[in-house]
Structure 1
Amino acid sequence: MYFTVNGSSKMHVSYNDRTDLLYIRLDDKKQDVINRRVSDDVVLDIGEGNKIIGIEILDASMHVTLDRLLPVKYKVSKAAV
């Protein structure tokens, strides 16, 4: 299973249950990133201006209650269509 939610034009959440990887992209702007490991299971993507633009959580099911996080229910506003 590969699950993706686009809650807004800027935030993107994806989970891959084969690799148990949760990725949260905070900015949809294309840019070069530097990966900074902050723990054994968390890697930050640092973009322009030294801002965090992505969070990668390895072995996500050990750190996040996935059944409460996924699937996410959301509505598409008329302005977004």
Structure 2
Amino acid sequence: MVAVDRTQTGLRVERNVLKVLKGLAEYLDISLGDLVEGIALHAFEGKVPFSPETLVKIEQLKAVYGLTLTAADAHRLVER
């Protein structure tokens, strides 16, 4: 284990992305913050953050919560 100092932050995220992230965190039995940290740390090193089994679960959660956005939509979203 590595000791760290965490900071509370407000973060605006698309509604269905957040639902999938929360569902995935619950499935993995980790906090939402731990999930986001893990995704970021993997991305910073160019590594895939999820196992094939977890990717299957993500697809299921996306279907449940109606998430149709893809990586192609990143950085191009406009608020309503």
- TM-score, with normalisation over the residues of structure 2? 0.27
Higher relative contact order (CA 8 A, sep 6+): 2
- TM-score, with normalisation over the residues of structure 1? 0.26
User: More helix per residue: 1 or 2?
Assistant: 2
User: More strand per residue: 1 or 2?
Assistant: 1
